[in-house]
Amino acid sequence: MLPARRFASPALLAALFACAASPRPARAQEPAPAQPPPAAGLALGAAAPDDLAFTCTRYLPRRLADLCGAKATALVFVTSECPLARRYLGRLDELERALRARGVAFAIVAVGPQDDPLRVADLQVGAGLACPAVVDPGAAAARALGVGRTPEVVVLDGARRLRYRGRIDDQHRLGGSRPAPTREDLREALEDVLAGREVRVPTTPVDGCLIAPPAPPPATTPTWAEHVAPLVRRSCVPCHRPGAEGPFFLVDYDDATAHAPTIAEVVEQGRMPPWFASPEHGRFTNARALTTEERATIVAWARGGAPRGDPAKEPPPLPDEPVGRWRIGEPDLVVAAPSHFEVPKEGWVDYQYIVLPLTIAEDLWVEAIEILPENPRVVHHANLAAVSLGPDGNRVQQFLTGRVPGGGPLLLEPGVAARIPAGSVLVVQAHYVTTGRPERDRIAVGLRWARGPVRKQMHVLIVDQGRLEIPPGEAAHRVVARKRLPADAVGMGLFSHMHLRGRDMTFRARRPDGAVETLLRIPNYSFDWQLGYVWPEGAMRLPKGTTIEVEGHFDNSRWNPYNPDPARTIRWGEQSEDEMFMGFLYWVDADERLDLRVDPATGRARPAPRGRQF
């Protein structure tokens, strides 16, 4: 039961409305805001040092020159947890859009101890910001520029001289907000700089959130045995073990100490372990991200001499790896490409389409599929689909799986199988990359037939947009695609695919009752680490008629370090210098009851399947 509420009397309400409706008296000329005491750090009129360093949302080092505009630059210091900073993000977006054509550049600079590239990218995408967002490690740039609170702004002119330091305006304060600011301090400062005159009010007080100093190192250095080994075992070893993608092993203490400086750097940056899902949306079983405290523990250990501690307290040794090359175990059938592909030593390599030599006379039912290159270092990614070939063109009948950096093979839960339709052929789309020397590769595909009764068929809903036209220089070009589910569904997981200009992708479920749920937000999409996001079994239920909406942004600007040509209009294409926009939902029909028995020798079902086909 809701608690009783105390309401104002009718007389009081009438008086309040009368006050609200009465005209405001004329306001005298506002005095200039009181000048705060001089800030430590860079003096007004001095040039900002060129060596100010930041980390962008793609985990790359960036310099002040990368952020600066032709005529003026506004560096807006924030933390992801400061409510006052969050309140101003919409205002900053309006200012940035209004002034970008006049040579003003904005950048969001995150300085919170918990802020990493994923968090600041999530802040950027959630607020709809097109300007760059970076992390200021240890708040070093903030200290150098004399910034002590958030949201505090530093304005530099075209020569990078400090012209303004202070608040955005005085509308939002620690104690509350007023309907409108009495003076738009940041806008006025930028207008003065653009007009080539002295800034009328060069400093203003900022009463936002204090920027915390870097945390001191722990009094006691963590040890490998008690503190670090369990974290590495959970979050690092899946990739850093024999047969996986990692460039070195981390299965024991000797492995870890040999790479301790590298571990400290990539863990502190948040670059490793790779994970790109916003923590605000969804729960995924394959998440390997470390918390802020866990990252601090690993960094303190690596930079504190990497002590081993008591070996008796280390986790037990890993079980022996399965014999053979296949992560799905020994396949029932291996089908290899008819011949080797010769990879040149340099340059772009067009996507290769390889038709595997397998005749499919009847439906085949598989519970595990793995794409295995002979030479993994030359394969960036590869996709596998069942395709019908015909004189009027080829048609994908069933997308099956892919091999992507950081991903794993298709391993379906008991009772679920993928169907390879009769009359189709298996086609591999392979993206080869050069290594600086001539190479060769031959791709094979391993299939493991379904064991036990098959109750449900795996389906893949591909939500894509082929009509792309990304303008030159556009930093956040928005694209949306939608598709509707034809049955009550149980979601298995999600996967995203864009190319080098892909910036972010968000999946939403718009249910028939009008409810909207964000299923997944990938705020800093990585072409090099195309991960899948797996839900707990049976946890994600989506009713028939639910629309799966996928929204994303492309960065075709010079700020994107991987952009092949910012001056080019980008359209849909299969090559990396073109673009794609594809969201994948793996699902099963909640009401389907196939009850198939699969021949363990051939992969064929007896009797023929009667389940729904989509």
Number of domains present in the structure of the chain: 4
What is the amino acid identity at position 209? C
Q: What is the pLDDT of residue 66?
A: 96
Asked whether the predicted pLDDT for residue 15 surpasses 60, the reply is: no
Q: Are residues 574 and 510 in the same domain?
A: yes
Domain end: 210, 235, 269, which one? 210
Compute, in degrees rounded to 10, the torsion defined by CA atoms 370, 375, 379, 384.
Answer: -30
Please give the average per-residue pLDDT across 282-296, as a whole number.
93
Q: Within a domain: residue 33?
A: no
Q: What is the pLDDT of residue 393?
A: 66
**Token pair listed for 294:** 């866990």
Please give the average per-residue pLDDT across 79-87, as a whole number.
94
Beta-bridged to residue 497, according to DSSP, are: 582
Q: Within a domain: residue 351?
A: yes
- Find all residues with CB under 8 Å of 576, minimum gap 6, and list them: 348, 431, 499, 500, 527, 564
Q: Are residues 201 and 81 in the same domain?
A: yes
Q: What is the pLDDT of residue 483?
A: 98
Task: Give how far Cα 396 sits from Cα of 358, 385, 427, 513, Å.
Answer: 16, 7, 9, 32
Beta-bridged to residue 388, according to DSSP, are: 395
- Find all residues with CB under 8 Å of 542, minimum gap 6, and list them: 485, 488, 489, 490, 491, 509, 511, 548, 587
Residue 8's pLDDT band (cuts 50, 70, 90): very low
Asked whether the predicted pLDDT for residue 24 surpasses 70, the reply is: no
Residue 21's pLDDT band (cuts 50, 70, 90): very low
Q: Are residues 435 and 472 in the same domain?
A: no
Distance CA 484, CA 587 (A): 13
Question: Residue 128 maps to which CATH number?
Answer: 3.40.30.10
Please give the average per-residue pLDDT across 23-27, as a whole number.
36
Name the residue with higher pLDDT: 227 or 404.
227
Question: Residue 487 maps to which CATH number?
Answer: 2.60.120.230
Phi–psi pair at 461, nearest 5 degrees? -95, 115
Asked whether the predicted pLDDT for residue 84 surpasses 90, the reply is: yes
Q: Are residues 416 and 542 in the same domain?
A: no
**Residue range(s) defining the domain that contains residue 537:** 459-589
As a whole-number percent, the residues of the chain with pLDDT over 70 amount to 91
* pTM (2 d.p.): 0.88
Q: Are residues 470 and 487 in the same domain?
A: yes
Q: What is the pLDDT of residue 119?
A: 96
Residue 614's pLDDT band (cuts 50, 70, 90): very low
CB 313 within 8 A of CB 225: yes
Asked whether the predicted pLDDT for residue 5 surpasses 70, the reply is: no
Q: What is the pLDDT of residue 319?
A: 67
Over residues 174-217, the pLDDT tens digits come to 888 999 999 999 999 999 999 999 999 999 999 899 998 887 88
Least confident segment among 172-181, 210-219, 290-299, 498-507: 210-219
Task: Give alpha helix (H) positions in 38-169.
Answer: 64-67, 83-87, 89-99, 117-127, 140-144
**Token pair listed for 377:** 């270092």
Over residues 515-570, the pLDDT tens digits come to 999 999 999 999 988 889 999 999 999 999 999 999 999 999 999 999 999 999 99
Q: Are residues 475 and 569 in the same domain?
A: yes
Q: Within a domain: residue 428?
A: yes
Residue 575's pLDDT band (cuts 50, 70, 90): confident
DSSP state of 570: E
Name the residue with higher pLDDT: 3 or 62.
62
**Token pair listed for 199:** 């800034």
Task: Give alpha helix (H) positions in 40-88.
Answer: 64-67, 83-87
**Token pair listed for 523:** 């705020």
* HSE-CB for 147 with a 13 A CA cutoff: 34
Residue 492's pLDDT band (cuts 50, 70, 90): very high
Asked whether the predicted pLDDT for residue 434 surpasses 80, the reply is: yes
Q: What is the pLDDT of residue 31?
A: 39
| Listed residue (465, 506, 508) closest to 485, CA to CA | 508
Number of other residues whose CB lies within 10 A of the CB of residue 56 = 22
DSSP calls for 401-418: EEE-TT---EEPPTTEEE
Q: Are residues 451 and 466 in the same domain?
A: no
Name the residue with higher pLDDT: 15 or 495.
495
Q: What is the pLDDT of residue 325?
A: 83
CB 395 within 8 A of CB 365: no
Least confident segment among 177-191, 385-399, 496-510: 385-399
| Listed residue (468, 526, 470) closest to 499, CA to CA | 526
Asked whether the predicted pLDDT for residue 603 surpasses 70, the reply is: yes
Number of other residues whose CB lies within 10 A of the CB of residue 91 = 18
Q: What is the pLDDT of residue 607?
A: 59
Q: Within a domain: residue 553?
A: yes
Q: Are residues 235 and 193 in the same domain?
A: no
Q: Are residues 520 and 425 in the same domain?
A: no
Please give the average per-residue pLDDT across 270-287, as a whole number.
94
Asked whether the predicted pLDDT for residue 458 surpasses 60, the reply is: yes
Coil, strand or helix at 141: helix
CB 589 within 8 A of CB 534: no
CB 221 within 8 A of CB 264: no
Residue 154's pLDDT band (cuts 50, 70, 90): very high
Q: What is the pLDDT of residue 317?
A: 77
* Burial category of 363 from C-beta neighbours within 10 Å (exposed 0-12, middle 13-18, buried 19 and up): buried
Q: Are residues 187 and 228 in the same domain?
A: no
Residue 406's pLDDT band (cuts 50, 70, 90): confident
Asked whether the predicted pLDDT for residue 6 surpasses 80, the reply is: no
Q: Which residues of 561-577 are buried (b: 16+ CB within 10 A; e: fewer)?
A: eebbebeeebeeeeebe
**Token pair listed for 227:** 């503190």
Q: Within a domain: residue 237?
A: yes
CB 580 within 8 A of CB 426: no
Question: Residue 407 maps to which CATH number?
Answer: 2.60.120
Q: What is the pLDDT of residue 423?
A: 93
Asked whether the predicted pLDDT for residue 389 surpasses 90, the reply is: no
Q: What is the pLDDT of residue 613?
A: 44
Q: Are residues 163 and 280 in the same domain?
A: no
CB 156 within 8 A of CB 75: yes
Average pLDDT score, the chain: 90
Long-range pairs for 9-17: beta carbons < 8 A, 24 or more residues apart = none
Q: What is the pLDDT of residue 407?
A: 78
Q: Within a domain: residue 258?
A: yes
Q: Within a domain: residue 324?
A: no
Q: Within a domain: residue 484?
A: yes
Helices vs strands, H then E, count in the chain: 11, 36
What is the amino acid identity at position 41? G
Please give the average per-residue pLDDT across 426-442, as a whole number.
95
Q: Are residues 573 and 600 in the same domain?
A: no
**Token pair listed for 185:** 């301090």
Q: Tell me which residue has tokens 């952009």.
A: 563
| Listed residue (406, 435, 432, 58) closest to 240, CA to CA | 406
